[in-house]
Amino acid sequence: MYLPQEIIKQKRNGGVLSDDAIRQFVAGLTDQSFSEGQIASLAMAIYLNGMQTEETVALTRAMRDSGAVLNWSGLNGPVVDKHSTGGVGDKVSLMLAPMVAACGAYVPMIAGRGLGHTGGTIDKLEAIPGYQTQQSLDSIQQLVRKNGAVIVSQSAELAPADRRLYLIRDVTATVESIPLITASILSKKLAAGLQYLTMDVKIGSGAIMKNVADASALARSIVNTAKGAGVPTQALLTDMNQTLGTSAGNALEVVETLDYLTGKYREPRLHQVTLELGASMLQLAGLYPDKTSAVAALEHSLTSGKAAELFSKMVAAQGGPADLLEKPAQYLATAKVVQDITAPATGYLAGADTTAIGMAVVRLGGGRAHPSQVINPAVGFSDVQPVGGRFTSGQLLARVHANTQEQADKAKAEYLAALGWSETPVATDPLVHLVID
């Protein structure tokens, strides 16, 4: 047995923590025998000095084993998931879970809420009246076996050590620690009983990782740690230098998801990244031998209507309306004020401060300034135009959805201030920067 201060001192001085010390720390997280001050001190020591891969694997496994671990024996297909590090307008999980399930995999997706400027998958789904993101472990297993996919919030029974550590990291400026990010993500995924995992590591102005070097370091940490824990994983480094898709805001992103699944409209960048991530999942799981056949299967899940059908079944099974796809306007909240945002002059849209756009959504009420805040699902931005295009003065750039005219005016000014302009054509960033196996 170690004293908590001995473990803290070891890592503070740049040492390597033993498996026993790491297990004791995680036990202390779970049974409250480590104080918040001691947890914060060790988190900061890890933030400053890092961890070796073996330490991160040990931390991940111990956090996984701090609660229940789902067992998927008896399924007639592989169990696979996708996780994103977060961005603005990233609603990929909502369409990807039913698409991949339609191709023969099982997808028990445990998703998160918004953090800072980034939107959360759970917040988006809770814009659907009645949708229950909290499910018992037995219910999760039944729903996956019945429908092929489920999207739920983290259960208190899965990786409870991560819940406490995350809350302390959030208020101690240690969120960005790569080993702690890695262990937080993977402990929950491993507790869900995954056999395969695809990571979407975002890069750019709207991501936690702003450049390829930092994103690559995180991706390699996740891939190597997951491999050490026995879960084959691939990471795609994808662009977050602009809003993904045409919307940012919870109900607005559900509307875009429904349009995507039903074929009403599929924004090209959003469609490409969804196919790239889905193909990775299907290939990792051994369902398709190459990217071409995997993409074809995903496209067929859309054109056949099977992915839309599975999404509808998932929503209904989790308490939402069975006819959401047919009657979205009947169920999804709409804002009191909708206002156009237009180009102030003629030129090329050269770039966007995507974090600033995400924070504008938060200030509209579409995210949380503090943990207890109730989200307004109706607010945000729609009809978002992509970077790189040429716009004439007065041409539509986006629409703001707000609760009051004052909030709409402020959000419009913030949106315009987040944009950069050029008199000449600009090159846009690649959607997929790198793939790490």
Annotated domain spans of the chain = 4-50, 80-317, 333-422
pLDDT band at 142 (very low <50, low <70, confident <90, very high): very high
Q: Which among 84, 93, 153, 301 is annotated as catalytic? A: 84
Q: Which among 85, 93, 155, 184 is annotated as catalytic? A: 184
Q: Which among 188, 202, 266, 399 is annotated as catalytic? A: 188
Question: For this structure, is 93 an active site residue?
Answer: no
For 283-323, how does the pLDDT look when each residue is reduced to its tens digit (9 = 90+)?
999 999 999 999 999 999 999 999 999 999 999 999 999 99
pLDDT, position 385 = 98
pLDDT, position 374 = 87
Mean pLDDT of 17-29: 96
Q: Which among 30, 60, 85, 121 is annotated as catalytic? A: 121
110 near 317, Cβ under 8 Å? no
Q: Which among 11, 23, 164, 189 is annotated as catalytic? A: 189
Q: Which among 82, 164, 313, 401 is annotated as catalytic? A: 82
Residue 371: burial class (beta carbons within 10 Å; 0-12, 13-18, 19+)? exposed
pLDDT, position 214 = 92
Residue 273: burial class (beta carbons within 10 Å; 0-12, 13-18, 19+)? buried
- Distances in Å between the alpha carbon of 316 and those of 132, 323, 328? 10, 8, 13
Q: Which among 41, 64, 81, 174 is annotated as catalytic? A: 81
Q: Which fold has domain 333-422?
A: Aldehyde Oxidoreductase; domain 3 (3.90.1170)
pLDDT, position 371 = 66
Question: For this structure, is 188 an active site residue?
Answer: yes
* CATH-assigned architecture of domain 80-317: 3-Layer(aba) Sandwich (3.40)
What gap in Å lies between CA 157 and CA 176, rounded to an integer?
25
147 near 77, Cβ under 8 Å? no
Question: For this structure, is 189 an active site residue?
Answer: yes
pLDDT band at 156 (very low <50, low <70, confident <90, very high): confident
Question: For this structure, is 169 an active site residue?
Answer: yes
pLDDT band at 208 (very low <50, low <70, confident <90, very high): confident
What gap in Å lies between CA 101 and CA 109, rounded to an integer?
11
Q: Which among 61, 83, 266, 412 is annotated as catalytic? A: 83
Question: For this structure, is 84 an active site residue?
Answer: yes
What gap in Å lies between CA 133 and CA 126, rounded to an integer?
7
What gap in Å lies between CA 23 and CA 354, rounded to an integer?
39
Using H for helix, E for strand and C for coil, what is the string for the chain?
CCCHHHHHHHHHCCCCCCHHHHHHHHHHHHHCCCCHHHHHHHHHHHHHHCCCHHHHHHHHHHHHCCCCCCCCCCCCCCEEEEEECCCCCCCHHHHHHHHHHHCCCEEEEEECCCECCECCHHHHHCCCCCCCCCCCHHHHHHHHHHHCEEEEECCCCCCHHHHHHHHHHHCCCCCCCHHHHHHHHHHHHHHCCCCEEEEEEEECCCCCECCHHHHHHHHHHHHHHHHHCCCCEEEEEEECCCCCCCCECHHHHHHHHHHHHHCCCCCHHHHHHHHHHHHHHHHHCCCCCCHHHHHHHHHHHHHCCHHHHHHHHHHHHCCCCCCCCCCHHHHCCCCCEEEEEECCCCEEEEEECHHHHHHHHHHHHHCCCCCCCCCCCCCEEECCCCCCCEECCCCEEEEEEECCHHHHHHHHHHHHHCEEEECCCCCCCCCEEEEEC
Mean pLDDT of 197-224: 94
Q: Which among 91, 169, 269, 399 is annotated as catalytic? A: 169
Mean pLDDT (the chain) is: 95
pLDDT band at 14 (very low <50, low <70, confident <90, very high): very high
Question: For this structure, is 81 an active site residue?
Answer: yes
pLDDT, position 166 = 84
CATH of 4-50, one of 1.10.10.60, 1.20.120.80, 1.20.970.10, 1.10.3330.10: 1.20.970.10
Question: For this structure, is 291 an active site residue?
Answer: no
Tokens of 253: 């992103």
Could you tell me if residue 39 is left (phi over 0), alpha (psi between -120 and 50 degrees) or otherwise beta? Answer: alpha
What gap in Å lies between CA 19 and CA 322, rounded to an integer?
48
